[in-house]
Amino acid sequence: MEFNTKKSKKNRTLGNFDPDPRSDSPSDTFLESPLRSIANKGEPQELPLFDFDSMVVATNNFSMANKLGQGGYGPVYKGKLHDGTDVAVKRLSSSSGQGLEEFKNEVRLISKLQHRNLVRLIGCCVEREERILIYEFLANKSLDNFLFDPSPTKRAELSWAERFDIIQGIARGLLYLHRDSCLRVIHRDLKVSNILLDEKMNPKISDFGLARIFEGTQYLANTHKVVGTLGYMSPEYGLAGIFSEKSDVFSFGVLLLEIVSGKKVTRFLYNDEHLSLLSHAWQLWNKGKGLHLIDEALADSFSSTEVKRCIQIALLCVQDHAENRPTMAAVISMLSSETELLQPKEPTFTFHNPSKFDQPSDNNPSSVCENTMSLAEGR
């Protein structure tokens, strides 16, 4: 594989840009390892490199009026490219220690992943100290803006039919990551705020900064640094740092219960007591009262058969032991058929500590304990 250096910034891409280790520019050395890793796995992809000045113009100098939100990586802005294309511009915060690795990971992965239920990366900017990712702009922002709005009227804008379509779309995106792409990818941070919606309410999985590639027939991996979001972590990952595609399946099950109920897993109250959303859902389902879990904003405008089936599938996905959870291929089959489902056991574990972590955010009152965290692994 041979790289050719493009001297014109306008035409530079990650597919043909050869970093020069002798250069004084951080942008030249920064992407060398990820680029060579990508090249070694197949044909290089054409991912444009944008200069910083164009990002300043696109975002109106990163103005507050253009700001869409704030994540662990850094702020995200709405921008407009010179050709009129609307984009989302994610700028790495200088104080984000882990952000640099997430940036490299996202650039390395996204050039190989293309699916209608994954967010598309348009390009990136690596100039001086700046690290910026440029994505397609999705008009309806993230799923949590609808699901967790205090107003029932706002939540009702997301009908059950749309919720069910979103559930199926997320499942298809995960199946692509796990089995159908040229890589085997574990997302490791699937959560409601990482599901973005386009103008037609089609879901797109975003934020691959924590994703990991599995090689060959590898099934399990172990990490000394546990990263992810409380409430969505599987027991084996949260406690021992062991992850697999079944870790994503667990997160999907949690997300599915949130979509059905309109309730956050990270701050769920029942009878004024902290109670796991997972346990509450199982108790209702076990008593034959699964429909009591449905978001009250939907009133009676839902399919009771689909709702009950989704709850049962979600409970199968959040089983304590990974081997008892279905694959995403099985989940998609269960969602699209009427075959009899297995009976789930009560989930007894939730990686969740409300007294320590469930404090409302001043910056985003509708979001509680949804920041991605790094946790020291217990050994």
pLDDT digits (tens, 9 = 90+) for 164-189: 999 999 999 999 999 999 889 999 99
Please report the pLDDT score of residue 97 as a whole number: 62
Please report the pLDDT score of residue 378 as a whole number: 31
Beta strands in the chain (DSSP E): 67-70, 75-80, 86-91, 121-127, 130-136, 184-186, 195-197, 203-205, 212-214, 221-222, 225-228, 242-243, 269-270, 273-274, 373-376
Tens digit of each residue's pLDDT (9 = 90 or more) over 49-95: 999 999 999 999 999 999 998 876 789 999 999 999 999 999 988 76
The CATH architecture to which 144-376 belongs is: Orthogonal Bundle (1.10)
What residue spans define the domains of the chain?
9-136, 144-376
Tokens in use for 299?
Answer: 């009133």
End-to-end CA distance of the chain: 42
Tokens in use for 320?
Answer: 């304590």
Longest CA–CA span in the chain (Å) reads 68
As a whole number of angstroms, the distance between CA 16 and CA 101 comes to 22
- Whose CA is closest to 258, among 190, 179, 175? 190
Ranges of residues in the chain whose predicted pLDDT is under 50? 1-11, 15-44, 353-370, 373-379
As a whole number of angstroms, the distance between CA 232 and CA 251 comes to 5
Please report the pLDDT score of residue 168 as a whole number: 99
Tokens in use for 203?
Answer: 């879901």
Tokens in use for 260?
Answer: 């059905």
Please report the pLDDT score of residue 360 as a whole number: 36
Please report the pLDDT score of residue 274 as a whole number: 60
As a whole number of angstroms, the distance between CA 137 and CA 199 comes to 10
User: Which pTM value belongs to this model?
Assistant: 0.82
Please report the pLDDT score of residue 73 as a whole number: 78
The answer to whether the CB of 263 falls within 8 A of the CB of 269 is no
Please report the pLDDT score of residue 354 as a whole number: 43
The answer to whether the CB of 104 falls within 8 A of the CB of 31 is yes
Please report the pLDDT score of residue 367 as a whole number: 31
Please report the pLDDT score of residue 14 as a whole number: 53
Please report the pLDDT score of residue 102 as a whole number: 84
Give catalytic residues, as residue numbers. 189
Please report the pLDDT score of residue 20 as a whole number: 32
Please report the pLDDT score of residue 44 as a whole number: 45
Determine the CATH number of domain 9-136. Answer: 3.30.200.20
Tokens in use for 366?
Answer: 């509708």
